[in-house]
Structure 1
Amino acid sequence: MNKVYLTILILLFGYTYSNAQCTTENSIECECKNSDEIACDLLPDITVSWQWGIGDYQEYPPGEGLQDGEINYPDNWFQITPEIEAMGRIRVGARTPNIGSGPLNLRGADKDGYRWMICYDSGVADTFTVYDPDWNEPSYCPDGSSPKHISWQRIYQKKADGSMDFYEVMVGTMEYHPTHGHMHFDEWTIMSLRIPDPNNMENPLEWEIVGNGAKVGFCVMDLGNCSSENAGCRDDESVYNEGNLLSQDNFPNYGLGGGGYNCSPVSQGISVGYNDTYGSYLDGMFLNIPLGTCNGDYAIVLEVPQVMVEERLDNNYTWFPVTLSQQTGVPDVPEITSSTTGLICEGESVLLSIGAPNNTSVLWSNGETSETIEINQSGTYSVTVTSDEFSCPTTKTISISAISNPTVEEVTVCKNESAELSVESDYSVTWYDEDLNVVGSGQNFTTPILNESTNYYVTNSYFDNKVGPEEHQGDSDYSGGSNAIGFLSFDALSTFTLETVSVYTEEPAERKFILINEEGDVIAEHTEFIGFCADEPQVVTLNFNVPEGNNYQIGTDAVFNINSVGGENPQLKRTGTNGGLTYPYILEGKVSINKSVYYGQGVNDSGGDDYTTYYYYLYDWVISVDPIECDPVLFPVTVEDCSSIEDILIDMSVYPNPTEGKVKLNLSLETESKVEISLNNSIGQKVFHKAFGFISKLDKSFDWSMLPKGVYSINIKINNQQTFEKIVLQ
């Protein structure tokens, strides 16, 4: 592989760091991973970049994707059999940054100058050594084959007095590459095609393997560095599309190792803040896809070996999604359609439909087999379509999200008091009285004075009216160049009004915002003075009416910018590659912001360059939409008379007492109250009970002659307060 020209550049670049006081000879200015320590092992931390991988892969149909050399290497280097040659292929590149505090230094001889080798010609591993510190002596196994060469990792140690020391450990093996003409560290990149497990997205190494790749050996070297955002060096690569981008300033020991490791068998490695890259076009950079693998969604998982001494061994892998389209065919099935878009209310019925082709069968995840199903619960639904014409089925999925009803607990208050009603909700809350008149909003509501039990109602509603990044992110603020200008490209899924956007700038001036249709015509514009708003945005009211259509662009007027800020560049903040962008930004049924369009030298007829790694100027779009309003939920309020029983009970008489069983009970109450009567025997058992509802007077006779003789207690309950009267049955 031709890495020579890059090596020269790296050597020149690395020379600028040679006078720093953090070198493999001097540790005065080197920092330990734990900055409180003054002496430590300066360990590497090797990761593998998803950003590089997803930008450097290509799928091939069965029987294609191998290079002639990969098939015809001496001794069948990649073990290509006719069965493997017939498979499909994915060629994929890999980039491996060192984000640790020390260099990775792999050496072909130990510190005493001895090369250690392994031969397998006798059927078992046989190790032997040769004193050859500069690798001048050829070495062969007894049968004439090339041996494996044991690698030594040199680990540098910062000493408290500012000196640098090192020790070495055996880690892995090297092998001579027959066409590159130099030594490769074995199994530097391990590639696999896997099926993501939605229940275990945390560990892609446990996902089911569909196809394996060559365990590619690398000549480990400083091929590039982490000095720019596009280098793809991140603090954590183990989760796709996550991890913070790193640059030179993130590495206190940047360049430790020298920045000039190359393919020498004596010493290879990756300096701190540097990376090695093998492009997908290089031999061995492929994954085999077994025959019969169905087209669909998979993941490529890349690993680097866990045989080295590092700061971390739990981040030596990455993954990124791929969609196979050139393998075994599947039925051509459109996406699932829903009778509603966006959020639904809890319990609301929704129709899901799949337009299955003729001569196919369907099976939904809930077990139904018709093309249209009715559901009333949120969740993810899938449908599998099978056809006799294809050996692979097609599965489509759709997620339905719902606004949950507010949680209600009945409230009881005393008469002539207000009730404090509250709910927990993530949405907008509205309160209604018994006649469904709006009486309040928010999670808490205080009723007026209540004299009787009543019902209130409460609803959740939601304005699903925002799209795009909420705020400017990252430390890359402005485009370079006075005439560099960007736009956002979007589709209007239906006619809507763009009410407001938010912008950021440190250069106060007027800007003219323009909306351009697919034909290139400006169909709406708005001019406004934008003040200093570096951190807190200025909200710009546009009220642009946008008809349904595709390929709109929105941004600023280039000519106006020249007069206002001195160039076509509007000097508004944009988000760069370290801003965690995730195009497209979609508001269902309304708008899809798909990409950015950038003109580096000013607007021209080229059409601009498309980017999904940049976002230009206009944040937090607010769209005019109707709120989603859910049905009211009953919130009962019980009102009780909490007056003392002495205040309510004017007169009470129980006679005769003693009695042979017949008892007359008279009550006279101050106000209408809830009355219950019960009779308990001497051991507390209730032998009689009767509720009379709300009354103000009671004149009632009871016949308890069938009860055993003895002492009983009449329990008179008035508005949840009680009084007792003992009687004797004789």
Structure 2
Amino acid sequence: MKINLHFLSFIIALLVISSNQLIAQCTINDATDCECLDPTQTDCDLLPDIQLSWFGIIDVSDGPTEYSQDYNGADAGRLRISASTPNDGAGPLTVRGVDENGWAYFVCGNDTIIDTDPSSNLSSFYCDNGEEARQITWQRIYHRNSDGTMSYYDRMAGSMTYHPTHGHNHSDDWGVFTLRKLDPNEPNPLNWPIVSDGAKMGFCLMDYGTCGTGTNSTYYGHCRDENRYSPDYLALFPEYDDGTNGGTIKVNSDYPNFGLGGGQYGCSPIEQGISAGWLDLYGEWLDDQWINLEPGLCNGLYWIIGEVDRNNDYLESNEDNNWTAVQVELTQQLDGDGYNIEIVTDQDGNPNICDGEVITLSPSSLTADSYLWSTGETTPSIEVGESGQYSLSTTSACGEGESQIVTVTVNDPIETPTTNDVTIEMGGSAILNASGTGNIIWQNASGEVLAEGNEYISEPLYENTTYYVVNEDILVEAPAELSTGAPNHEGDSEYSGGIYNGGLLFNANSTFTLNSVKVYTEYAGQRTLELHNENGDVVNSQIVYIPDTGDNGQEIELNWEIIAGNSYIITTNFDMNNENFGNNNPMLRRTTDDLPDFPYTIENIVEITEGMYDDGDGPGFSTSYYYYFYDWKIDNEWNLGGTSCLSEPVEVNVLIDNSTEITENNSTLLSIYPNPAYDNLNVIFHTNLNMLEGGIYDHLGQKVSNVNVNNIQESEKLTINISNLSSGLYFISFSNATNNINKPFTIGK
């Protein structure tokens, strides 16, 4: 008789597992086989002991990833870090977002809001001002009773916040990382000097993996009885070495209460946690998993100091082992043998400024011990108002640095324009002329630009008026179009899931014309591009055929006038996407992986604030995703981006000739009021007049309005509507066979 040994091994393993399940009774509902931290006790709190694994920092993704300060992307100047937090305690870390009644407590500013509806979607709770609320959390402590039963109590502990780019709740300030320099006389790394402040990382607490069963397990080496002291640390402070060179590695079988908590904690706003003998892991590829390296930091050896639960929000069996120290060598920062400095200004390239202006020269992203400019000045930045060549030398712990030479050009003063004063009759318009070497600009006394060009015709004037004219020489022409938005598609992640239709959320701070956008796709076909206002109404749409663009992209002409307003969304049409591509997705490329760099702005014109995604049940927003529409081209009606110099203003005076005589024939026969008049003019007659004809004339004698009269009685009032006439000097005239009556008046608006 032949026996299948593989089958027999399977049966034996199944029997062992089944028998262990029958014997081992250590769950959150039954403490029969749960051990206290002190095995001699039978009545105890089963507390967690959360550590930060030094091995996890150097093992996951082959250790931290460093980026230079001039890296072309959002990771510039970052040190990305992975972190694992094993639970070495006798019980689980259980963090709940609701109390025993199922009530949730949210903090908005100084207010606490209580949500008593257990069916509420707690992840979508926002404060009235639109900010994410902090959700008060409770730690559930499980207690082994002497009779083998399990009980628990809840204690208020910390808070958590919904993290929109991860899509779940994070325990606030769970992990804190800093970059520090070694102090060889201080064994406590928490007292070493900080050279770069790290992020306060909020983690979703979950059962990511177990400590493992042996050397081939994924997270073998993360769980240890002592995780503070890495081998590099012990080489410097051997008095802390217990002979294990970084702690004794533990596997699942080393935990008597292994799995207590259930091994199924996830990112729920109701309950999160880490079971006994399990660990949580946040990889360096996730949002916020980095230290921001200070500009000017030298290459060399530093220490990553990680802390978990630094605020001691959660009760643990050991509150003193929540940190670890790992050595790291920086190689992408400033070289200690010398380095280059980039001088930056508020202009691209070599600055070109006007006579009388100054420009500030500064080193880009550098903190040095000393500065020496070619002018002899020793400040970090200098102001320059003379033509010449400028450079900078610095010294720091990284050595000596030299900048490029920057040439500053200060243009000669612009010649003033030639012009003359003019004299006009009251109510006339002045025709002003000027000539110069460049563009002529006319201004009023307040500096407001009235017109451009050699000739300017004023409005009718009734008093002496002063204008100003300047000569403009253009150094750099303004571009016809302005650009904003991500310039092109980046990264390896191209298309989102089929259920999502994406877009961009933006504010129009001024009315502008969106001439075009660029899109990328390998899926040829029609799409309908849509512009939604803040109410969700479609205010612009356009059907376009987009071919397979490859990596070159395709420019889509829109020529949409976008009225000033907030919360616009540019997106695509759901129905056409489903008709042509079988789902909500328009099959256009989008950018993610921390490459988007929101907001994208043109100051005072447009601000692209977030990516928008919609599965058909309403939009969500995230700064981690840039959807579809790249390289916006906007009509430059403001002439931004050009450079010009202006002459000193020249005063131009318009004088009113007051010699014009006004003859009031038979003026005692009537009175008028008000004078000046605005919308109506009233006429009172002081005698009987028959067969009258009337009219209103301007200051040049041109009839501008008829006045219908015939026979007038003494003391009769005639009201004439003059609202259609512009400001100026006028005459009202009545005549018959024996009388000719003229009366002057003015209209003011």
Q: Normalized against structure 2, the TM-score is what?
A: 0.39
Normalised by the size of structure 1, how large is the TM-score? 0.40
